[in-house]
Structures are given as structure tokens and as C-alpha cells.
Amino acid sequence: MRRGLSHLRPHPAVPIRAPPPQSQSQQTQRQHQRPTSSSPPLPPRCCGPRRWHSTGTGSACNHFVDSGKVEPTGPPPPPRLPSAKPFRLAVKDNIATAEFPTQCASRILLGHASPFEATIVRQLRARGADVVGKTNMDEFGMGSHSTNSIHGPVRNPLSLDGEPTSAGGSSGGSAVAVMVGDADLALGTDTGGSVRLPASYTGAVGHRPSYGMISRYGVFPYANSLDTVGFIAREVRPILDLLVNTGLDEEHDPQDPTSLSLATRQRCAKACPPTLQDNSQLTVGIPLEYNISELDPVIRRTWMAAASALEAEGVKIVPVSLPSTKEALCAYYVLAAAEASSNLAKYDGVRYGVRAPGSDATGDTLYSETRGSGFGDEVKRRILLGTYSLSSEAMDNYFIQAQKVRRLIRRDFDRVFRLANPLQGPEQFDLSDMAEGTGLEDKRGPPQIDFLLSPTTPSFAPKLRDVLENSSTDAYMNDVFSVPASLAGLPAVSLPARTPESHLPVGLQLIAQYWDDKRVLGMAERLKELMHR
């Protein structure tokens, strides 16, 4: 039986089926890394105090949107709960708010005032939230560096020498708002890693809840089956307290068809342990397929150091295999683009969106000018990709195949986790279906784990100059470690780890079985404390 880290070797190149990063870009990132103390420095403030709505010229980080305020037209804010504690909340610009426009960083929604507020914002208001502003993002959530925005790119507060560094995307503005002290908690949306990736680049904690736990009502959709409202904070505890101690995970929203019913929530809660056990009773898996050749050596060493630190504290560490991981990235970009092409069809200047001059149907078309001038290049690219994959000649070869891969990915996760998936019936896994080199715990099969530990991203935050010079497909590689959990709808947390080999943080990701959010957040808190001793 294979135990510990002795059998974890650098994995050969995995065919991830996305263009690999250019070697010049990797060299640029390594030159940007500088040895520093292991203690986390406080990021420099990017704007003056209380300057919530900043633009690229008024702020060094460009993390808030200068949208002004609107007169609320919906119902009044909900009354605060008796246990409410005031805190400052920053909201991503694709989540509807009462007093601020919601523009999704897109020209086609410029100045759009939503007639209602998102359920999650109202829930947090009842728990003491004061919305301080809307945060910059990639247009409609499509991007990995928060550069595809009409407001300009978001800049990482950890940038040095006047060279702007990526803050990650698409929720980059939310992560920066937290890390510079302008908000205590921020809301983002995570489709394929859009909360975890910015958290990794900026040194924040980013949590993607189990799909269906948090209401999506009032969230402008990118891909309905993948979108999840996530939380970003400096520490794990505020997210854990908010989600569990205030009962947020127990609230069903009848206005959101993807929100789990009360009966299903109760069944899921019963299937998960109520508390996190002692380290000696926990098993953490190291996914071998995540050890790709493109992984930065410094990040790999930090990943191994984290596993060793857990092992020294009594946690059992075992290698596990997730063979369908190598297909996850290509499946994600087929499925997400297909759903986006459908969701964005309504922005035509007739039903929704700002109508372009001259789009009056006097010619041959009704709204091509509106969509052509209103959407950015990356949004157009994904609409075209999604429309093609849904066409009659391509659906069987792309969309249907991607759905099959998605099911295999979920099956891989269910096979390695100790807890059964509460949304699925009992399933028998045949040993013949597993990879040839899979280690066995005993005659019943391989070891069962509580959590998966991996890097959040394969590289450090790149310079914005390199991001803007590279093609958009180069950025897709950043999602290679975050996409599998998104396709399976599982909870995942990105937490920062400091390394003396770089002034930039390393993001470590913990993944758990469905609805096991409470334990994975508790484990993230333990691991973060270990990595900052």
C-alpha cells in the first residue's frame, strides 16, 4: 500500500489539450519573484479611505467601478437579524444591488439599474452587511485576469517596481477590495475558478460553495449549471461564521430553480459530519494528475511542504488518481461557452441592453450593431464558440461529449471521497475501471479521503503586460486546477501560503465532497495556520 509522500513523483506531461504557456512568459514570471520574509505583508492601499467608486485614473488598483448611485425601486432592505454584526461588503458587478447599477463590466449594460436586488445581497444585509460598492471584473465573468472590462484592468496590490501584476479573474476587483482593506467580505461568482484564482493571486481566501447552496437569483448568468456565488475574505473564519453560524447554508430561495429545497438541504446535512475530526482521523489525497509539467517548481515545492506539514500534524496523506482530469479543461470551455451563447442572446437592445445608434431595423438586421458594439472581443469569441458547439453538425462531437466527460469527472471524485455524494444513489465502483497504478488500501479498494489538496493555479500572478500580449487561449490554462471541482459542483477553498522563494503568495486548494463545506472550511483554517507559523 502506498502511503505518505514517498511515492509522489513529478508526473509526466499531461495532455491538457490547451495551448501550453510560452517559455518566455514563464521566465518573466520567475524574474518577478523575489525572496522575502515568510510573514504576510499588508498590501499597500490602492486608493484613499472611503473612495469606493474609483476609476483607472483615480486608483492604482482600479478595483471599484465608478457607476454612481441609483434610486432603489424595489422593496426596502430586510430587517437585520438580532445576531447581526455590521461589516463592509463589496459586491461583484454582475450581482444586482439596489443602490448601484449592475453593468457586468460591459458596454451593452452601461448604467443598467436592476429593478430588484439579488437574494444573497439581501440575505447578507439582514446579517449586517453595508454594501460599499461594486467591484470591477471581466466582462460577464469571462476571463482569468480581470482585463476584459470597459473600466480597464484590475491591478494586483502586490505589484512591485511599478510593473502592474494580474489580480486574477474574473472576480479580481472583489479580491483586491478585501486585501487593501476597503471591504471585510466580498462577493464574487465562480464559474470555473473565478473566485479561487483571484484569491490565489492576491493572497486572499476564496470559497466556492457547493452548487445550489447559495441563491443565484439576481446574478447575471454566464453558465447556469456552473455559476456559483462565492465569498472572499482575508481569513477563513468570517466565511465559516457567515455560512454556518448564521444559517445561510440552510436557506432555500424559491425564486432560484437551482437552489436546493429545504428537504434536500436537510438530507445533505445529515450525510456530512457536523464537525471536523481530529487530524489523526483525517485523510487528505494528493491528486497525481495535478502534478503537471507546466506547474511552477516553486508552487510544486510549496504544495509538497503543505502536505508534509499536514502529515507532521497527524493527517494521513495518500496519492490518489483522478484520470478524467486531463479532459476537464476542454470539456469546461465547451460547456461554459455553449451556455453563455444561450444566456447572452437576450442582450439585443430590444429586450435588454443599450441600443446602438443606427440599430433601427431599417436595414437588413435588427440588432447586429448593438451586439457588435456592446460586447467585448472575449465575449464575442465565446458566443461564437458556444453557438458552433450547439449547432446540429457539432453538438454530438462537442457538447454531448463534454457532458459525458463531466459525468466521468464527478464519478472520479465520488470514487475517492470517503463520504458518499448525497445527491446520488449508492454506486458500485469496479476496480477494473481504475487506473493501473492505483494503490489499494486493502482488498476492498483504494484509500478513501476526506479532502483533496492541490495548487489553485499552475503559476504565479503574471504581469499585466504579458497577459495583454498573449492570446486569450493562453489564459485558459490558469483554470486547469479549478475547473474539475466546478464541473462536479463541489465545494472548494483557495488559501494563501507564503514561500521565501517569492514575494507573491502561493494558492493552495482544498476540495471536499458535495455539501461538506463546513468541514472543508475548517480544514482550510487549520492548514492556513500551519503554513503561516
Q: Is 316 a residue of the active site?
A: no
Provide φ and ψ at 134, rounded to 5°.
-100, 140
Q: Is 270 a residue of the active site?
A: no
* Among 92, 323, 118, 119, residue whose Cα is nearest residue 187: 92
Give the chain's length: 533
Q: How far apart are CA 324 and CA 90, in angstroms?
A: 36
Which member of 92, 316, 463, 528 is catalytic?
A: 92
Q: How far apart are CA 441 and CA 462, in angstroms?
A: 41
Provide φ and ψ at 92, rounded to 5°.
-60, 145
* Among 322, 312, 273, residue whose Cα is nearest residue 438: 322
Asked if 477 and 19 count as a contact pair (C-beta separation under 8 A), the reply is: yes
Q: How far apart are CA 200 and CA 167, in angstroms?
A: 9
Sign of the C-alpha dihedral computed for residues 126, 127, 130 and 131 taken in this order: negative
Q: How far apart are CA 147 and CA 222, in angstroms?
A: 17
DSSP state of 449: B
* Among 233, 203, 237, 207, residue whose Cα is nearest residue 38: 203
* Among 241, 193, 165, residue whose Cα is nearest residue 494: 193
Q: How far apart are CA 530 and CA 438, in angstroms?
A: 29
DSSP state of 394: T
Q: What angle do CA 27, 31, 35 make, to 5 degrees?
A: 135
Q: Is 194 a residue of the active site?
A: yes
* Among 125, 199, 211, 156, residue whose Cα is nearest residue 43: 156
Per the structure block, which three cell numbers stand in for 33? 519573484
Number of H helices, E strands in the chain: 15, 10
End-to-end CA distance of the chain, in Å? 32
Q: How far apart are CA 243 and CA 231, in angstroms?
A: 10
Which member of 67, 114, 144, 194 is catalytic?
A: 194
Give the residue numbers marked as catalytic: 92, 170, 194
